[in-house]
Amino acid sequence: MTSIYDFTVKNWDWLFSISDLKWKPFIVANISDPTEYASSHNQIRWLNSLYNKYHSQWLEILWFNTFRDFLWSGFSWDLEFLNFGNVDWCPNIEFFRFPSISVNWDDADPFFKYLKDNSPEELVLWEEHLKLDKELKKSVSSYKNEKDILWHFTKFLINKNWKIVLRVSPLESPLIMEPEIQKILE
């Protein structure tokens, strides 16, 4: 059986091996549009907050540009994405950033296929979010089945033992992962 650490993903000029994160907990997030909406700003601030708080305990964050899957919104080229990270509303983003990939289409990256196929059910906490979630699923062209990634900011939390322990809806704050992060780091 394939493990999460069997994958490599293309970084800017080299291949990044997920096995380099062995024994470290990490969050994988697909993000493509950090500039358009205030809620996007919050998602990035919250991820950055988790990173700053827990990185000294080995938490890593992998941020993937996925603009092609979601109506071509967001970063239109990878250089813009790579250089993003020192803006007034969220300075000093230091977590890993990766160039554009597909997460849902036929050419979906194998790493994201693995994440989708092996993750628990997506966590959606608020009733209003459940309603919006259902509406989005009807309108997003790249969303084909329940395992697909609905929109920007789907988050996966992987523990030190290679298990995907949470999949968090794009509608929810990454901060809801904090209790699980703390358990993993104990």
**Structure confidence at residue 52 as a pLDDT band (50, 70, 90):** very high
pLDDT, residue 22, reads 87
Cβ atoms within 10 A of the Cβ of 8, count? 15
Question: If 0-12 CB within 10 Å is exposed, 13-18 middle and 19+ buried, where does residue 180 land?
Answer: middle
pLDDT, residue 180, reads 94
Higher pLDDT, 173 or 83: 173
Q: Where are the alpha helices (DSSP H) in the chain?
A: 38-54, 78-83, 110-118, 127-139, 178-185
**Structure confidence at residue 85 as a pLDDT band (50, 70, 90):** low
Q: Among 103, 110, 48, 112, which residue's Cα sits nearest to residue 74?
A: 103
Mean pLDDT for 147-157 is 79
Mean pLDDT for 96-101 is 79
Helix (H, G, I), strand (E, B) or coil at 85: coil
pLDDT, residue 136, reads 61
Q: What is the reported pTM?
A: 0.81
Q: Among 166, 181, 163, which residue's Cα sits nearest to residue 51?
A: 181
pLDDT, residue 100, reads 77
Place of tokens 């969303």: 143
- Report pLDDT digits (tens) over 116-132: 899 888 766 655 655 66
Whether pLDDT at 79 is above 70: no
Q: How many residues does the chain have?
A: 186
Whether pLDDT at 41 is above 80: no
User: What's the number of CA atoms in the CB half-sphere (13 Å) around residue 87?
Assistant: 15
List, in order of start, the domains of the chain with CATH numbers.
Answer: 4-185 (3.40.30.10)
Range with the poorest average pLDDT among 4-8, 87-91, 103-107: 87-91
